[in-house]
Amino acid sequence: MKYIEKHPMIMIVVGILGISMSAIFVKYSTAPSAVTATYRLLWTVVLMSFVVLGKKEVRRELFALDKKKVCLSAVSGLFLAIHFVLWFESLKHTTVASSTTIVCTEVIWVALGFCICMKGKIKGKAILAIAVTFGGSIVIACADSASGGVHLFGDLLALLAAIAVAVYTLIGRIVREKVSTTVYTYVVYSACAFVLVVICLIQGYALFDYGISPIVVGALLSVFSTILGHSIFSWCLKYFSPAFVSASKLCEPVVAAVFAAFLFGEIPAIPVFAGGAMILGGVLYYSRIESK
């Protein structure tokens, strides 16, 4: 562990690989999107329970949460569940490159939501970054529409998924002011898992009717994409600036697209490359503005 603390860039690389594998794992699931997402969250809750319930101080904080924080966390979990279902479904209709790049617009939707709902302010340069990002999304949409309506539908689902996870992030900004990351995420993930189970029941999906595929994929998503992905980036904030960590996450669409090209033969068209570069450039530019 001391070696890793002296060379934290190792964990940045691990985190990038972890989140980049998310879209790849989903592609291998033969179950409906809601079922795959349910297994991911159920595995995550089970694995986190050992930490949360095993530590006295964490357990004490969990049971001391007031009703307002629990309700807000539950709503956050609802939007996270919506995000997972929409994003997983988008991967069935469009390419990994298009879907993962459009989902990266989350930070832009967070900025707009912060401005509209929380009376925040957006700088002039940030507006330019948002415009460039939107322009990149339009370029990808136009390129995919030429490939057929199915791809365009997948892009739309990815965009809605980005908006849903932005709501989840904004609520977390409020709750996290007085609640630890471990307790907050545990409550959110538990609520998210519950919502996903309800969605499966409403849609008539039985969790055990799709073989072992979604169970294995859910476990892989939980371990690699959640624990060795997003959790690793949270750990890296101790050693790197938030701007650098956020910028590192932008490697996900690139790495995921490379994996998809080799594994599924998905070679993005040139306009998709151009639109992706605009989106990632806009998000990176915005992240640097916010860091200042």
Decide: residue 243, CB within 10 A, 0-12 exposed, 13-18 middle, 19+ buried. Answer: middle
High-pLDDT (> 70) share of the chain, %? 90
Q: How far apart are CA 74 and CA 89, in angstroms?
A: 23
Helix-helix angle 213-220:33-52, to 10 degrees:
50
Of 89-98, 192-201, 220-229, 277-286, which one has max mean pLDDT?
Answer: 192-201
More confident residue, 270 or 86: 86
Q: What is the pLDDT confidence band of residue 147, given thresholds at 50, 70 and 90? A: low
More confident residue, 124 or 112: 112
Q: Which residues contact 272 (CB under 8 A, 6 or more apart)?
A: 95, 97, 98, 139, 140, 143, 144
Residues listed for the chain = 292
DSSP string, 137-188: HHHHHHHHHHH-HHHHHHHHHHHHHHHHHHHHHHHHHHHTTTS-HHHHHHHH
Residue 184 contacts residue 175 (beta carbons within 8 Å): yes
Say whether pLDDT at 15 is over 80. yes
Q: How far apart are CA 135 and CA 281, in angstroms?
A: 11
Q: What is the pLDDT confidence band of residue 246, given thresholds at 50, 70 and 90? A: low
Mean of pLDDT over the chain? 84
Decide: residue 289, CB within 10 A, 0-12 exposed, 13-18 middle, 19+ buried. Answer: middle
Say whether pLDDT at 19 is over 80. yes
More confident residue, 240 or 290: 240
Q: Where are the domains of the chain?
A: 2-291
Say whether pLDDT at 84 is over 90. yes
List C-alpha distances in Å: 180 to 32, 55, 60: 33, 13, 12
Say whether pLDDT at 292 is over 70. no
Say whether pLDDT at 275 is over 80. yes
Report how far apart the first and last C-alpha atoms of the chain are (Å, whole number). Answer: 32
pLDDT recorded at residue 65: 87
Per residue in 36-75, pLDDT tens?
Answer: 999 999 999 999 998 888 888 888 988 888 888 899 999 9
pLDDT recorded at residue 201: 93
More confident residue, 9 or 162: 162
The two structure tokens encoding residue 214: 């979604």
Residue 238: helix, strand or coil by DSSP?
coil
pLDDT recorded at residue 94: 87
pLDDT recorded at residue 241: 62
